[in-house]
Structure 1
Amino acid sequence: MTKSVLVPVDGSEQSERALDYALEAFPDASITLLYVFEGGPPEIHLEQRGQDYDALRERRHGMLERLVADRPFEGDVDTAVRIGRPSREIVACADDRAVDHILVGSHGRDGASRVLLGSVAETVVRRAPVPVTVVR
């Protein structure tokens, strides 16, 4: 039985579909929503533009909490915000939090390339220490 699920969320339609699927398929599981700031430390870039990294991080936590608040789910939900390469941070977060399953949105593609996964989803599938479900 799956007790804890990790759902990376990046604001895309596919990641929200993965969240919906997680909430429906694992109603008794503890859900962790993860947002990854891609690249190096954003503090430097944000400070140059006069923005506060801590405030931005808190806004991301709030965005993740609102995603679940707008959906019918009574279980436990946690949020995480990390910095780095999304595929690495997703796998690391799954390992750090000892989740049982990862649900990740696929990359939205059409035509012949549709059979291929997005690079983040593909890397997570290959490297994850737990089962991964890719949601289109």
Structure 2
Amino acid sequence: MRSTVLVPIDDSERSSEALKYALEVHPEATITALYVVDPRKFYAGTGIEGSVTTDYKRIQENYEQQAQKLLEKASDAVAQQGAEIETEWVTGAVARSIVDYAIDHDVDAIVMGSHGRSGASRILLGSVAETVTRRSPIPVTIVR
């Protein structure tokens, strides 16, 4: 049975490194690059005043287009290396969406980048990688 590996990506160098790592360490696996569109960003961009519904939809569409472009870029970069990946995007809280996707799609492993936060910034800002690692019932590899 072929294994499946989930690689959450964003536009960071760390997520690019995680994708490279997954391709090297799991060459026979089906690798899915996942981008999570965080809906909290929609509201942050609209403000409280004005036509929130109209702005919300426009902002949501912009984030979804960015997700598609980022996933196409990742797929193209992998294709240049002679490999293929599947790509998906979902909307939701980032850490929860990653874990839920992995569970719902019977993923065997998650490989993700770490932003390298430490000390007070990690405590204050939280860490998606840390949250995924704590909540995931499947193995998680953090690439630094």
Per the normalisation by structure 1, the TM-score is 0.79
In the TM superposition, residue 2 of structure 1 has moved relative to its aligned partner by 6.3
- 1:85 aligned to 87, 93, 106, which one? 93
Total equivalences in the alignment: 132
SS in 1 for 2:24: helix
Among all aligned residue pairs of Structure 1 and Structure 2, give the percentage whose two residues are the same amino acid: 41
AA at the equivalent of 2:70: M
AA at the equivalent of 2:54: E
Which has the larger helix fraction?
A: 2
* Structure 1 runs, 4 residues or longer, greater than 6 Å off: none
Residue 20 of structure 1 corresponds to 20
Residue 108 of structure 2 corresponds to 100
Q: Distance in 2 between matches of 1:98 and 1:51?
A: 33
AA at the equivalent of 1:20: K
For the pair shown, which has the larger CA radius of gyration, 1 or 2? 2
Q: Distance in 2 between matches of 1:39 and 1:53?
A: 8
SS in 2 for 1:51: helix
Aligned pairs (5 A) from 1:1-136: 3-40=3-40, 42=42, 45=46, 47-48=54-55, 51=58, 53-54=60-61, 56-71=63-78, 72-75=81-84, 77-109=85-117, 113=119, 119-136=127-144
Q: Distance in 1 between matches of 2:90 and 2:75?
A: 19
Gaps of at least 5 residues in structure 1 are: none
In the TM superposition, residue 40 of structure 1 has moved relative to its aligned partner by 4.2
Contact (CA 8 Å) 1:5, 1:102: kept in 2 or not? yes
CA RMSD of aligned residues (A): 3.0
Is the alpha carbon distance of 1:51 and 1:20 closer, same or farther for their aligned partners in structure 2, counting shifts above 3 Å?
same
Contact (CA 8 Å) 1:2, 1:26: kept in 2 or not? no
Contact (CA 8 Å) 2:109, 2:140: kept in 1 or not? yes
Q: Distance in 2 between matches of 1:37 and 1:16?
A: 17
